[in-house]
Amino acid sequence: MADSNFRGPVNAMGSLENANATTSPGSQVPIDPLDGPSSFYQGICWPDPRSVPFPKDGFRPGQLPAILYLGDMWTVDAIPQATSSTTLAAAQAVTANVAMALSTVAVTNFSSGAASVAYGVPIPVGTSFTIAPIALDFGFTTGTTVANSSAVTVPDSTKFTVGQWVILGNVANAAGTASLITQIQSTSGTTTVYVGSNLPATALGIPIGAANLFGGNFLPPATQFGPSAVSAIAAANRLQAGFTRVLNPSEMLARNIWVSIATAANTAVAVLVSGWDAWFTPMTELITLNATTSVTSSFGKKAFKYINSLVPTTTVAQNVYAGIGDTFGFPFRADEWVQVQVYAGGTAVSNSVGITTALLNTAATQTTADVRGTIQVNVNGAGSAISNVMTTNNVNRLAIIQNPGVWNQISCTPNNLAPMFGTAQV
């Protein structure tokens, strides 16, 4: 489509247009699923009112003086699951280059409304998917299931829409070791939704996340227009919003890994953590327990969302175990601490203490900091905690609002993602 200048303004009235408002006062307004929101590549500019006359008859880079409108970007808004040193792997003797046995125990500290671990979650890889053994802080809400029943009790049924595809954590089998993709068939009252086609195989308190098919009822018939997706196949971190699917801050918690040993070894013990970040990008981190008689725990610096494996590089007789700490990742690159606003447990973070900014001017390795930056809210991390620490306990909420810089937003293109998403993961 050709570029154009016009006087404006642009009015997108969406569902505010109601043809029956005059003839049928109080009638329902017709809602079109594609009413909004509008989306604008690289943001919105406010023309400088001093730039008169407007150069309407030409197009060249930098022609119009303007100010980039930088609104608040809510990137994390959720209640993290409780910190624990054994969430990922119980104590076990380890052998060099042999993967540790990961936890498959159903959640025992489930709290309504708080994120929790989910096992066997399919995540997108290109046009297909792979199974992530463990998903951390999974889901945009929670629920309680009954085996072989379509009814799921939830804190707030208004968070669901009929036809929505979701993933019910840990209930794809009776053992609670796999997660179930299913579809919302209906809602009842304020606390019940009904799923169809695939039913929970066990009764559990579970995390519920989004699955990756949106607007499936608008897909063309496969018999007329070729193949069409009939069901979701993997997790998503999005909310349907008209034509778009927007980032859901409730699905973007990602955090550091905590590795411990029962008794300090006389040799260095390292564990290679492999998994994916909150954007489903593969990543690794090498976490080393120092060779001293006093060090029994070590904390990673990177923010993982999904765990694939934990592989020790050393054989030791002492039991090694792994869990999750108190350091959380920024979904977008934070070059300066002032580019983020954080509310931890209801208290605003007022300074740079506890914040590690994005990895800049260097390539990522298995031992470098997180590529987009992190915040440590309590003691279980590789750095200092924020001044007013937040206990990560299934109750306290973490909210992160990011305001990427002007350069970050206008420089991010499909050919150069680093300004917004950080240097490449390894």
Give the type of residue at 234.
A
pLDDT at 353 over 60: yes
pLDDT at 1 over 90: no
Give the type of residue at 408.
N
- Provide the 3-class DSSP secondary structure of residue 224: helix
Confidence of residue 118 (pLDDT cuts 50, 70, 90): very high
- CB–CB of 242/232 below 8 Å? no
Task: Please compute the mean of the pLDDT values over residues 84-109 and round it to a whole number.
Answer: 91
Distance, in Å, from the CA atom of 269 to the CA atom of 401, rounded to the nearest integer, reads 37
Distance, in Å, from the CA atom of 418 to the CA atom of 51, rounded to the nearest integer, reads 32
Q: What is the pLDDT, as a whole number, of residue 256?
A: 98
Q: Long-range contacts made by residues 131-134, C-beta under 8 angstroms, separation at least 24? A: 132/275, 132/276, 132/306, 132/307, 132/308, 133/102, 133/307, 133/308, 133/309, 134/88, 134/102, 134/103, 134/306, 134/307
- Decide which of 244 and 271 is more confident: 271
The percent of residues above 70 in pLDDT, for the chain, comes to 92
Confidence of residue 386 (pLDDT cuts 50, 70, 90): very high
Tokens of 422: 């950080």
- CB–CB of 354/375 below 8 Å? yes
Distance, in Å, from the CA atom of 382 to the CA atom of 374, rounded to the nearest integer, reads 11
- CB–CB of 265/316 below 8 Å? yes
Tokens of 9: 């303004």
- CB–CB of 142/208 below 8 Å? yes
Give the type of residue at 127.
T
Task: Please compute the mean of the pLDDT values over residues 258-267 and round it to a whole number.
Answer: 85
Reply yes or no: is the peptide bond before residue 37 cis, omega within 30 of 0.
Answer: yes
Q: What is the pLDDT, as a whole number, of residue 26?
A: 63
Distance, in Å, from the CA atom of 283 to the CA atom of 307, rounded to the nearest integer, reads 10
Q: Which of 201, 208, 206 is nearest to 235 (CA)?
A: 208
Residue pLDDT, tens place only, 24-54: 666 777 888 888 888 888 888 888 888 888 8
Side-chain-side CA neighbours of residue 223 (13 Å): 0
Confidence of residue 226 (pLDDT cuts 50, 70, 90): low
- CB–CB of 122/128 below 8 Å? no
Range with the poorest average pLDDT among 214-223, 357-366, 398-407, 412-421: 214-223
Other Cβ atoms less than 10 A from the Cβ of 143: the count is 27
